[in-house]
Structure formats: C-alpha cells, structure tokens
Amino acid sequence: MGYQAGMIGTQLSNAQKRDWRLVVLAVGVALVLLGYLLPMYPNYITGAQTTYSDNSTVSLSFPTLINRQLYTQTTPPKDAETTAVSIQVGPARYLWGSGFGWLFQALNTNNLEQVASFVTCLLIPLLALIPAAWVLGRAWASPNGLCARSISAAFSVAFFAPAAMLCSWLHQIDFSGLLLALNRPYLLPSLGFWVALAGSILLVVALYGLHRELECQAFTWWALVAAVAIVAWLLVKTKPQPYLEIWQYIEDGIWVTLRIVVISFIFILIVSLLGGLGRVSKSPVIYGIASLYVELLRGIPLMVQLLFIWFALPQLFDALGGLVLRLYGLVDWEFLSSAGVKLQELRLSPFTAAVTGLTICYGAYVSEIFRAGISSIHRGQMEAARSLGMTYMQAMRYIILPQAVRVILPPVGNEFVMLLKDSSLVSVLAVSDLTRRGREYMARTFLSFETWILVALCYLVLTLFASRVVEYIEARTTFES
Amino acid sequence: MESPASDKRPIIAIRNISKSFEHGRVVALDNVSTDIYPSEVVVIIGPSGSGKSTLLRCINHLETPDAGTIEVDGVLMTDAANINKVRMEVGMVFQQFNLFPHLTVMENICLAQRVVRKRTLAESSEIALDLLNKVGIPEKADAYPNQISGGQQQRVAIARALAMQPKIMLFDEPTSALDPEMIKEVVDVMLDLARDGMTMVVVSHEMGFARNAASRIIFMDDGQIIEDSSPQQLFNDPKEQRTRDFLGKILH
C-alpha cells in the first residue's frame, strides 16, 4: 500500500489507514505512554562512599538522585586514585519510580537547574508523542489526510527519543563507568524503561517509513540546531567539570567573535558595494582601481593579510611619518611636524586591525559577488531608467540594485558564514576571540580535547544558526509571482 | 491636420549621423540626415540590420553617434547635462517592454516622476491613474509586471513614458514581442496618441498603424535613408527598387 504525492492533502481510504507504518506509529505511541506508567527507575542512589589509593575515604549522601553533582565534584586527594566505590540505594518516591513519577519528583525539587538535563532527557520521548499523535489524528480524522510537514517535524523530534531514553538512564548512574562496573542489578532500569524505549524506536521506524514514502524533508533546521545545542548543553551540565569552567572561560570570546564579525560585515557590505560599482563602471580609472583591489587582495591569503596589518603596517606608518618629518625640515610648515609624529606613533588596536583585515580581504570577494549581481540585471532595465531621464546613480539606486540584491543575497549570506569561521584567524592578532580564549585555556590546563570540542560546538551552533537566518531572509526576498 | 512642412522649426534635427559597431566592422548608420517636425508621426521601416533601431536610439542618446549632431527641441545633445534634460522630453517604448519587475504597475509609472520630475506621491499617483485609464487597464495598478499579459505590459510601458509628459515619443518595435491577439490593444493606444497630436517616431512593421497614422514613412537599408515619403506615395508607388522589393516581402 503506497501513497502518491498527490495523496497529500486528500482523505485517506480505509485500506490506507491500516497501512503498517500508521499502525506501528500508533503502537509506538501507546508503548511510550505505557512505559512511562510502569516502574522505570524504582531504586536510586542515596549515597556513595569512595575509597582512594591512600586509604582515605569520602562519604556522601544525596537527598535525591538528581542532586548528584556532589558526587562528580568530589576530586581525589593529591597523587591518589579512586580504588573502590560503594553505594547505597533507596526506593523511588513517587508512582513506583515510573517516568511520570520521576518527572513529578523533579518538578518538586527546589533546584530545577540541577535536574534540568535529566528532565529534558525524560521529556523528549513525551514531546515526540505530540507531533506523532498529530500525524495519526490527521490520518484518521482529518479530511486533509497526511501532511508532509507534520511528518517531518515528528521525525525530527522522534529521532532523538531513543537516545534521550538512554541518556536518562545514564543520569541515574551519573554517567559513571565506576558505578557500572559494580554490576549491581538494581542499577539497571526496569520494565517501564524497556517498554518506552521499544515504543520510541517504533516511532522512529514508522515515521522514517512515512517520510521515505512521501519524500519529505528528513530534518527541519531547528531540530539540527537544537540537537547541537542540547549536546553542548548536556556536556556542560552532566559533566560540569571541566566543561563548565571551560565555558565560563571562553564565553566572553563568543561575544568578541560576534562583534568582530558583525562590524566587519557592515564595512564589507559598504566596501563591496563600492567595489562592485567600480567593477561595472565605464570609467577606465575607476574600473582600474576596483580591479586592482579585487585581483590583488583575492590572491593573498587572509592569514598573510592579517599578519601584514598587525606586524608590517606599524613599520609603514613609521616610515611615512619619517618622510613627513623630513618634508617638515624642508618647508617648515608647523602642521607637518605634529602630523609626522602622530603618524609615527600610530598603532592599530588588535580589534581595529582584525576588523580592517577581515574587511579588506572579504571586501574583495564580496565585490565580485556584487559585480556579478549587478551585471546579471538585463541591459534593458538601465536603458529604460535612463530613457526616463534618471541619472546613472539614480538608475542604480532605484532600479538595478533593488533587483540585484535578490541575486546577491544567497552568495553574500554564504560569505557571512565563511566570515564567521574565518574570523578564528584573528586570534593571531592578540584579539581575545573564541579561538584565542580556547587556546589560552588549553595552554593553562592542557585539557585539549575538552577545550576544542566545546569551541568547535560553539562555532557550529553559531554557523548553523547564521545560515538558517540567511535562508530565512532569502525566502523573504524572492520575487512575488 | 496642419501641414508639417509649414512649421519651420523641426523638433528633431538629425545631421550627418554615422555610427558603427565592433570597431568599425559593422556600419549601422552611414551619414543619415532628416528633420522631424512637431505633431509628425514618422514610421521607420526597413530590413533587420538596416540601422532603424540605432537611429531611434541615437535620438535620446542610448547610442552615442560616432559623427554628426542631433538637436532635440533646440538643445544640442553633446554633454551629459543636456542628455538628461532631453531625455525628460523624449519618452521611449521598447520591444521587450523593460518594465521594472520589482515594482508594481503603479510604482513603475510613479518612480521616475518622483525621482526626476520631483513630484509628490499624490501628484504622481493622480497622473499615473489618469494614464492607466487612458491605456485601459486601471484595475492592474497594484499588479506586478509578471502578473499581466504582454499587451498590458506594453501599455503600462507607454503610460510610464507618457507620465513624464514628453514632447516626443519613440517606439522601438513596440509590437514585435507580442502575441498576435495582443497587437491591436497596443496599436489602438498608439493611434489615440497620434490623434492627440503627439510627435512620434516609430520603428515598426505594423502596416495598419503606418497606413492609418503615419504622416511620413522612412525606408532604411544599409544604414541609409533610401526613401522618405507619404504613406500613399510609398505604399502605392515606391520610387526605389529596394523599397519595392522590401514591401513585396512584408505585404505578400
């Protein structure tokens, strides 16, 4: 039994309503709900005793499982290793320790922030039920039948449900290999967990089947951004050390990076508008200057340009200042003396140097995009505007550029995302951007893996988010037809 | 109708115009001279590549002639300031309409009025609505060019040119890109204009218009004016063999 694309938006026949994918989806929804009512984590850790190699012990007791950061934050004494861990367990408080019971308990906790990641993991399978039930409801009841968009949304959420289930269990044992090695049966999840896990897997299978059949988009963009953000957040929350500290250290670097990128981008747009207009100019002088700029700067790596501006430019200023002072010796004009001294002392701040370097380099690339966009507009448009008495600049301003913007926008958006990533190069100029903060932290602690995975995730979230914004703007500015 | 020849001052004076393309390899105009008087309707015909479009485009300086002078309404077209002044007085309609696709019909007609003539929004909209009524499509004011038919687009293009209140209208094959059933609606608008006494220079093979409205027909070939006479004379008794051959081809 198949669906044709044409069936989207038409009522389903009875035979189609019994399609295996829809049946499996219904079973999956039911199993997840059932699993959350059955005992899931009936026992939980109430306390732990850790023994170290120097025979010292640390005992801790936890008022609730999810307050367990106490456990992870216990650091062994100097030059000692953990040799043994013993734990005490107690029965769960609400609803036989079922999924719903744990959610209820979490909501009754005073410190919601500490339990947030555990609650999220428990909530994701339940959240996946909402769009899944929506899909089922449409298939059964709505005169409009299946909807590709709701299927794609349901799949995007359901995809994370099995992993989230697994994560909720790992919370119970505190993501700890040591505890797992104790091999205690009461640390394993109960029936409810397995039922809900099976249910969530059925959701994924059924929705994947439907999505294949209807050829809809597998992931909506926000699901991707959310997934990356959740991974980063889980890293920080579940393993607070060292991730929390790294995060606190590099956080201000994100703002520096964003500030550099946004300010540079504004200048880049101005420079490349001028560059693009210069490249379509009929005046050989303007065309020549614009071409020289574009061809020269596109051929030099950004890194070399940045290093030049940071290290070589002060020397250039110095030499120029010297020249002006020499001139002052010849003609004896007062203002030349102060100007020469000022020029010799001129130093760009790291931030200014970074913005200048990025603007000059990217201005050359984006100028070419502007040129291509302007020349893609049919010659007749300029002729029509000129024949109405508009000047060249008026025609550009009112007729050519508004049309060219729609051509220019997608590639310029891509350049913005590239700029966001290439901005990491300014870390060589003593600018405390995200990359440099990461390097500083690593130099201090030698935690290379943890540092760079977090820095990479930060860039990933930024670029994913930026490219979605660009896509949105593109969609808004396409031609009305 | 007043006889054009009795009006002493030509509104367009073309003197010894030459123009070649591709570094002189293609000669489009070869020493062309003619006068056009106020309220005259001049139709230029000729085989493709005969230079008729180039001549038209030289009048408002979309092409710069290599040699010769053009005087429009007493203003010599040489420097940039004069060119923009003259272009305000000379409306042009193109074969491909060249409406601005990012603007509505209304905005297409109003933009140049506001930017060039410095009229207010209210003034320009009033003029635009008047003209849309005149060309018969007031209901399309808020449509975008790609939402209306070719014939309607060309009528909007005529209205857009008229909104600048030009003294002269140039038509560059205005009906060549149209489906046959749409030609009439555009020709009707042009006939109206001619009746109102607008000075018109029309490059077209639309013989219906030429017969009904033209005060003069110019036949061009190889960048030269071969024959310049009244429609009756040219259609019924052409002087030149080349004219006869060409008319034979297009009139069947």
pLDDT for position B205: 84
Q: Closest Cα partner for A431 from A214, A220, A239, A254?
A: A254
Contact B98 A391 (CB under 8 A): no
For A202-259, write each residue's pLDDT tens digit. 999 998 888 877 766 656 666 667 777 777 776 666 566 677 788 888 989 999 999 9
Task: Say if residue A68's pLDDT is above 70.
Answer: no
Chain A residue nearest residue B63, CA to CA: A383
pLDDT band at A481 (very low <50, low <70, confident <90, very high): very low
DSSP state of B238: -
Q: Collect all residues of chain B within an 8 Å Cβ-Cβ radius of residue A477.
A: none
Q: How far is CA B210 from CA A389, A415, B40, B127, B204, in A?
A: 28, 55, 12, 29, 8
Helices (H) and strands (E) in chain B, counts: 9, 10
Q: Closest Cα partner for A173 from A93, A106, A80, A85?
A: A85
Chain A residue nearest residue B59, CA to CA: A387
The answer to whether residues A25 and A136 touch, using CB atoms and an 8 Å cutoff, is yes
Q: Collect all residues of chain A within an 8 Å Cβ-Cβ radius of residue B62.
A: 383, 386-387
Contact B112 A383 (CB under 8 A): no
Chain A contact for B88, CB < 8 A? Answer: yes
Contact B94 A380 (CB under 8 A): yes
pLDDT for position A223: 67
Contact B94 A389 (CB under 8 A): no
The architecture of the domain spanning B4-100+167-251 is 3-Layer(aba) Sandwich (3.40)
Question: What letter represents residue A166's amino acid?
Answer: L
Task: Say if residue A267's pLDDT is above 90.
Answer: yes
Q: Collect all residues of chain A within an 8 Å Cβ-Cβ radius of residue B161.
A: 387-388
Chain A residue nearest residue B160, CA to CA: A388
Contact B161 A387 (CB under 8 A): yes
The answer to whether residues A419 and A358 touch, using CB atoms and an 8 Å cutoff, is yes
pLDDT for position A420: 95
The answer to whether residues A438 and A395 touch, using CB atoms and an 8 Å cutoff, is no
Rounded CA Rg of chain B: 18
Q: Collect all residues of chain B within an 8 Å Cβ-Cβ radius of residue A388.
A: 87, 91, 112, 116, 160-161, 164
Question: Burial letters for A295-333: b for 16+ Cβ neighbours within 10 Å, e otherwise?
Answer: eebeeeebeebbeebbeebbeebeeebeebbeebeeeee
Describe the strand order of the beta sheet including A57-61 as a list of residue ranges. A57-61, A43-52, A82-91
What mean pLDDT do residues A266-290 have? 95
Contact A385 B112 (CB under 8 A): yes
The answer to whether residues A446 and A242 touch, using CB atoms and an 8 Å cutoff, is no
Q: What mean pLDDT, rounded, does chain B reach?
A: 89
Contact B62 A383 (CB under 8 A): yes
The H-or-E segment that residue A470 falls in is helix A448-476
pLDDT for position A63: 52
Distance in angstroms (rounded) separating the CA atoms of residues A35 and B213: 88
What mean pLDDT do residues A367-394 have? 94
Structure token digits, residue A472: 């949105």
Contact A398 B88 (CB under 8 A): no
Domain limits, chain A: 5-46+62-74+89-238, 249-320+350-476
- How many C-alpha atoms does A456 have within 13 Å on its Cβ side? 8
Chain A residue nearest residue B112, CA to CA: A388
For A108-149, write each residue's pLDDT tens digit. 776 666 677 788 888 889 988 988 998 888 888 777 777 777
Q: Collect all residues of chain B within an 8 Å Cβ-Cβ radius of residue A480.
A: 144
The answer to whether residues B132 and B138 touch, using CB atoms and an 8 Å cutoff, is yes
pLDDT for position A221: 63
Task: Say if residue A83's pLDDT is above 80.
Answer: no
Torsion angles phi and psi, residue A336, rounded to 5: -65, -35
CATH superfamily of A249-320+350-476: MetI-like (1.10.3720.10)
Question: What letter represents residue A113's amino acid?
Answer: E
Distance in angstroms (rounded) separating the CA atoms of residues A420 and A260: 9
Chain B residue nearest residue A479, CA to CA: B102
Instruction: Report the residue from B101, B116, B144 with minimal CB separation from A389.
Output: B116
Instruction: Report the residue from B87, B91, B102 with minimal CB separation from A402.
Output: B102
Q: Closest Cα partner for A256 from A72, A32, A420, A440?
A: A420
Task: Say if residue B146's pLDDT is above 70.
Answer: yes
Q: Collect all residues of chain B within an 8 Å Cβ-Cβ radius of residue A385.
A: 100, 112
pLDDT for position A84: 74
Contact B96 A380 (CB under 8 A): yes
Residue with the bigger pLDDT between B110 and A105: it is: B110
The answer to whether residues B169 and B93 touch, using CB atoms and an 8 Å cutoff, is yes
Instruction: Report the residue from A386, A391, A403 with minimal CB separation from B101.
Output: A403
pLDDT for position A1: 42
pLDDT for position A8: 53
What mean pLDDT do residues B162-171 have? 94
Contacts of A465 (CB under 8 A, 6+ apart): A225
Contact A387 B91 (CB under 8 A): yes
Describe the strand order of the beta sheet including B216-221 as a list of residue ranges. B90-93, B168-172, B199-203, B41-45, B216-221, B224-229
Q: How far is B236 from chain A (nearest CA, A)?
A: 36
The answer to whether residues B81 and B61 touch, using CB atoms and an 8 Å cutoff, is no
Q: Closest Cα partner for B131 from B105, B112, B149?
A: B105
Q: Collect all residues of chain B within an 8 Å Cβ-Cβ radius of residue A283.
A: none
**Residues on chain A bordering chain B, Cβ-to-Cβ distance under 8 angstroms:** 378, 380-381, 383-391, 394, 398-399, 402-403, 406, 479-481
Distance in angstroms (rounded) separating the CA atoms of residues A157 and A126: 10
Chain A contact for B146, CB < 8 A? Answer: yes
Q: Closest Cα partner for A58 from A45, A43, A44, A73?
A: A73
Residue with the bigger pLDDT between A171 and A422: it is: A422
Contact B146 A481 (CB under 8 A): yes
Q: Collect all residues of chain A within an 8 Å Cβ-Cβ radius of residue B110.
A: none
Q: Closest Cα partner for B133 from B106, B100, B113, B164?
A: B106
Contact A388 B87 (CB under 8 A): yes
Contacts of A216 (CB under 8 A, 6+ apart): A148, A149, A151, A152
DSSP state of A98: B
What mean pLDDT do residues A151-178 have? 82
Distance in angstroms (rounded) separating the CA atoms of residues B214 and B223: 21
Chain A contact for B217, CB < 8 A? Answer: no
Q: How far is A376 from chain B (nearest CA, A)?
A: 14
Domain limits, chain B: 4-100+167-251
For A304-353, write each residue's pLDDT tens digit. 999 999 999 988 888 888 888 888 878 877 788 888 888 888 888 999 99
Task: Say if residue A72's pLDDT is above 50.
Answer: no
For B193-206, write each residue's pLDDT tens digit. 999 999 999 998 88
User: Which of the residues B116, B158, B164 would you substitute to probe the A interface, choosing the one with the greatest number of A C-beta atoms within 10 Å?
Assistant: B116
Contact A479 B84 (CB under 8 A): no
Q: Closest Cα partner for B59 from B37, B94, B83, B26?
A: B83
Task: Say if residue B34's pLDDT is above 80.
Answer: yes
Q: How many residues does chain A have?
A: 481
The separation between CA A74 and the C-alpha centre of its own chain, rounded to angstroms, equals: 32
What mean pLDDT do residues A423-442 have? 92
pLDDT for position B137: 92
The answer to whether residues A158 and A230 touch, using CB atoms and an 8 Å cutoff, is no
Chain A residue nearest residue B81, CA to CA: A391
User: Which of the residues A283, A377, A386, A387 would you substitute to probe the B interface, choosing the one with the greatest number of B C-beta atoms within 10 Å?
Assistant: A387
pLDDT for position A469: 85
